Amino acid sequence: MMKSLRIRSFEEYKEKYALSVENPETFWGEIAENFTWKEKWDQVLDWNFDEPKINWFEGAKLNITENVLDRHLEKRGNKLALIWEPNDPKQRFIRYTYRELHELVCQFANVLKKKGVVKGDRVCIYLPMIPELTIAMLACARIGAVHSVIFAGFSANAIADRVNDAQAKLVITADGLNRGAKQIPLKRVVDEALESCPSVKEVIVYDSLAWMPNMVANRDSWWHELVDNESKVCEAEVMDAEDMLFILYTSGSTGNPKGVVHTCGGYMVYTAYTFQNVYQCDESDVYWSSADIGWITGHSYTVYGPLLTGATVLMFEGVPTFPDPGRFWQVIDKHSVNQFLTAPTALRSLMAHGEDHVLSYSLDSLKLLGTVGEPINDEAWKWYHLHVGKEKCAIVDNWWQTETGGIMISGLGNISPMKPTYAGFPLPGVQPVLLNQEGEEIQEADVEGYLCMKFPWPGMLRTTYGDHERCKATYFSQYKGYYFSGDGAKRDKNGMYRIIGRIDDVINVSGHRFGTAEIENAINTNSKVIESAVVGFPHPVKGQSIYAFVVCEKLPEDPIQARGAIVESVVSQIGKIALPEKIQFVTGLPKTRSGKIMRRILRKIAEGDISNLGDTSTLLDPLIVDEIVESAL
């Protein structure tokens, strides 16, 4: 592991934190010394949050895959890099050493080159949770192509939007995927998406399930045929520190999902540094994050962070409840996992199945537990600590975002103080503040405010693809001079942060992020719908669930059929993951005289809390509220 990256005590944490604020450039410059650069930087940092312009390690040259793979070969060539556990426990698992992974990545990088992919081209990846997903991402990075991974639960329309926004040249997919007892087609969905994606010239298909999908002539080719006889040596493209590494689309409060852009140098330094310190892996440890690589957690903490530090990573194809709700724990025992990261929603769904499933496994190997994606409730925290960690493992609660690239606020291994439901202290190098409505920094303890950052960190987003203004408007304009996260938080008297949740129109369903506008747009594609308003409401397992208020030309005579049609719209526009749990037909929405929907009122109704709907006198039609309350679901 990279020794000089690792903080080993809470005292040292405090010293490093102070240094990182006093002299950020010295702090990050020293950390960056731990990596292989083809050329060093001229300047550690050049920034302003107005444009915004964020340049880390300007002038430096590198290839991230040499840091992920090549530089480990000498000492860790025969060490396991990747352990892949399939969906079906009866199927054989796969293990690759660093040397093997290096060869596979280089080989596939050569395939991409032969297909005409060059530095800067965008490649879209729509694959199951199989090793080829990691290989494909790293192969892109090897040749300087920009990967854009799309979670394999998104619909054809959602793929098309992302492919077109990025103007991707090539798509990598598979015939289908296994998820629990289900098998889901992927190639068919890609085929449908590509009907409206003129930029895509080539599709590479991995044969995962032997399904023999339709192959389009002069466009589609088989992964296995392309790699056959391809060289396992591929020189790494020289990249500037600020060249793009990848785009990952994420939802915001307005419009379509935006392409968050991360660059090579800063993202590398930040994911390795945060992984090393938060997970504190020893050389022989096995680390596992259950998050899908289609989301940022998988990018930063299944692919880049762990491999950059030379760790052994487990990757799991399946789901927590298949073949039974003991699967996570069985996998931990089977592969002697030492550090395990999952989401509160997964814990809550397993809790609902009772303790027996977890009590049948020893879980002796575990040293550290992580939680990420949404606030963890007290009950789930305690269950995790007692039944999974057997009260001997610390829990690190990782707060961060797609935009931050890596963990921002969290415990570090078992060295920081723990407080259930608190994410904890900021990592050294991270400077959070809480702002009030007026944009002033809150100094007092236990007061809720808007969580913002007042100084850059290497892993932060640089822009939103193709639309820098949008990046500025979304993150840097709310409060001048600050990065605005969209979350509300509190800080206790010791300086520990507790995340309350989104304060914008973003809904977090089972750790997946959706914008209300995005779901409304999907609902509104239904020809019978005039308009709709979507809000989140608390859900015992998913954290939040989606409630849609829908206005049609007239109230539907057959609401079941009408709901089915709306469900269909959402499935086809976004995917099953964004399905509204409740759909209520109404004759109008509560709007202000200027036409703004008062979501605050709808949120209360969705929560079932109608005792205090607040002031409705400014509404265009206050009576509509009574109607909605009466027919609430």
Binding residues for ligand WT7 (CB under 6 A) = 250, 295-297, 372-375, 397-402, 423, 485-487, 499, 501-502, 508, 513
Burial of 370 (0-12, 13-18, 19+ CB in 10 A): buried
Cβ nearer to ligand WT7, comparing 240 with 374: 374
- Residue number with CB closer to ligand WT7 (193 or 499): 499
Q: Shortest gap between Cβ of 499 and ligand WT7 (angstroms)? A: 4
Q: Strand, helix or coil at 631? A: coil
Nearest to ligand WT7 of 135, 407 (CB atom) = 407
Alpha-carbon distance 184 to 218, whole Å?
Answer: 25
CB of 127 to ligand WT7, least distance (A): 19
- Shortest distance in whole angstroms from residue 163 CB to ligand WT7: 20
Amino acid identity of 627? Answer: E
Nearer to ligand WT7, 165 or 397 (CB): 397
Distance, in Å, from the CA atom of 214 to the CA atom of 129, rounded to the nearest integer, reads 22
CB of residue 84 vs ligand WT7: minimum separation in angstroms? Answer: 22
* CB of 537 vs ligand WT7, minimal distance in Å: 16
- Shortest spacing between CB 154 and ligand WT7, in angstroms: 14
Nearest to 266 by CA among 295, 250, 243: 243
CB count, 10 Å around CB of 615? 10
Closer to ligand WT7 at the Cβ: 435 or 499?
499
Question: Residue 16, Cβ neighbours under 10 Å: how many?
Answer: 18
CA 554 to chain centre: 40
Are 176 and 151 contacting, i.e. CB atoms less than 8 angstroms apart?
A: no
CA 462 and chain centroid, separation: 17
| 45 vs 315, beta carbon nearer ligand WT7 | 315
Closest CA to 119 of 253, 264, 252: 264
- Tokens coding 599: 């979501």
Angle between helices 559-573 and 516-524 (to 10 degrees): 120
Identify the CA nearest to 149 among candidates 274, 284, 295, 282. Answer: 295
Residue 70 phi/psi, 5-degree rounding, is -50, -45
* Neighbouring C-beta atoms of residue 292, cutoff 10 Å: 21
Q: Which is nearer to ligand WT7, 126 or 151 (CB)?
A: 151
Residue 251 or 532 with smaller CB distance to ligand WT7? 251
CB of residue 291 to ligand WT7, shortest distance in Å: 7
Cα angle 528-531-533, degrees, rounded to a multiple of 5: 130
Name the minimum Å distance from CB 278 to ligand WT7.
Answer: 11
How far CA 570 is from CA of 156, 258, 520, 525, 565, in Å, comes to: 12, 18, 9, 9, 9
Least distance to ligand WT7 from the beta carbon of 375, Å? 4
Bond before 52 cis per omega within 30 degrees: yes
Give the 3-state secondary structure of 536-597.
EEEECCCEEEEEEEEEECCCCCCHHHHHHHHHHHHHHHCCHHHCCCEEEEECCCCEECCCCE
- Closest approach of Cβ 251 to ligand WT7, in Å? 8
Contact yes or no for 284/52 (Cβ under 8 A): no
Q: Which is nearer to ligand WT7, 110 or 431 (CB)?
A: 431
Nearer to ligand WT7, 109 or 313 (CB): 313
Nearer to ligand WT7, 397 or 520 (CB): 397
Nearest distance, CB of residue 263 and ligand WT7, angstroms: 18
Pick between residue 197 and residue 507 the one whose CB is nearest to ligand WT7.
507
* Closer to ligand WT7 by Cβ: residue 487 or 505: 487
- Between CA 362 and CA 336, with CA 423 as vertex, the angle to 5 degrees is 20
Q: How far is the CB of 407 from ligand WT7 (least distance, A)?
A: 8
Q: Of the candidates 89, 36, 93, which has an alpha carbon nearest to the alpha carbon of residue 62?
A: 36
- Distance in Å, CB of 43 to ligand WT7, minimum: 29
CB nearest ligand WT7: which residue?
402
